[in-house]
Amino acid sequence: MKIVLHSDGPLDVGATLARYRIWGEDPVNVVDGDVFRALTVDVPGARAAAVGEAAVFEVRRLFGLDFDLPGFYRMAKADPVLAGLVEPLYGMRPTLAPTALEMLVGSITAQQINLSFAFACRARLVRRYGVAVPAGRTTVWAFPEAAALAGARVRELRALKYSTRKAEYIRDLARAIVAGTLDVAALEAATSEDVIARLTALRGLGRSQGVRASLRPRPHAERGGRPTAGARVGTVPEPRRPLLAGRHAAPGGARRRRHRVSRKLSIPILGQGDPNRPKDIHLVGRYALGIDWTDGHGSIYPFEFLRRACPCGACADLEAPAATTLWPSELKKLDDGLRVVWADAHESLMPWADLRASCRCAACTGAH
27-39 pLDDT per residue, tens: 888 777 656 666 5
Contact between 307 and 318 under an 8 Å Cβ cutoff? The reply is yes
At 35 the pLDDT is 62
Beta strands in the chain (DSSP E): 29-32, 35-38, 131-135, 138-142, 278-284, 288-293, 298-302, 328-333, 337-342, 347-351
What spatial distance separates the first Cα and last Cα of the chain, rounded to whole Å?
43
Tell how strand 288-293 and strand 138-142 pair up.
Answer: unpaired
Contact between 246 and 8 under an 8 Å Cβ cutoff? The reply is yes
- 17 confidence band (pLDDT: 50, 70, 90): confident
Q: With pLDDT > 70 as the criterion, what percentage of the chain qualifies?
A: 74
C-alpha–C-alpha distance, residues 235 and 35, integer Å: 5
Please give the DSSP secondary-structure letter assigned to residue 32. Answer: E
Q: Compute the average pLDDT of residues 301-321.
A: 81
The helix (H) or strand (E) run that includes residue 264 is: none
Query: Hey, how many other C-beta atoms are within 10 angstroms of the C-beta on 221?
Result: 13
Q: Which long-range contacts (CB under 8 A, 24 or more apart) does 116-119 make?
A: 116/23, 116/24, 117/161, 118/23, 119/23, 119/24, 119/25, 119/26
- 217 confidence band (pLDDT: 50, 70, 90): low
Q: With pLDDT > 90 as the criterion, what percentage of the chain qualifies?
A: 18
State the angle between helix axes of 115-129 and 100-109 in degrees (0 to 180), rounded to the nearest 10. 130
- 58 confidence band (pLDDT: 50, 70, 90): confident
C-alpha–C-alpha distance, residues 289 and 10, integer Å: 12
C-alpha–C-alpha distance, residues 36 and 18, integer Å: 11
At 366 the pLDDT is 58
- 24 confidence band (pLDDT: 50, 70, 90): confident
**Biggest alpha carbon–alpha carbon distance for the chain:** 77
| Residue of 277 and 4 predicted with greater confidence | 277
Contact between 171 and 180 under an 8 Å Cβ cutoff? The reply is no
Structural domains present in the chain = 13-222 (1.10.340.30), 254-365 (3.30.2020.30)
Answer yes or no: is pLDDT of 133 > 80.
Answer: yes
State the angle between helix axes of 164-179 and 100-109 in degrees (0 to 180), rounded to the nearest 10. 170
C-alpha–C-alpha distance, residues 319 and 213, integer Å: 38
Answer yes or no: is pLDDT of 43 > 60.
Answer: no
What's the predicted TM-score (pTM) here? 0.58
Contact between 109 and 144 under an 8 Å Cβ cutoff? The reply is no
Contact between 10 and 33 under an 8 Å Cβ cutoff? The reply is no
C-alpha–C-alpha distance, residues 66 and 305, integer Å: 20
Q: Torsion over CA of 10, 14, 18 and 24, rounded to 10 degrees?
A: 160
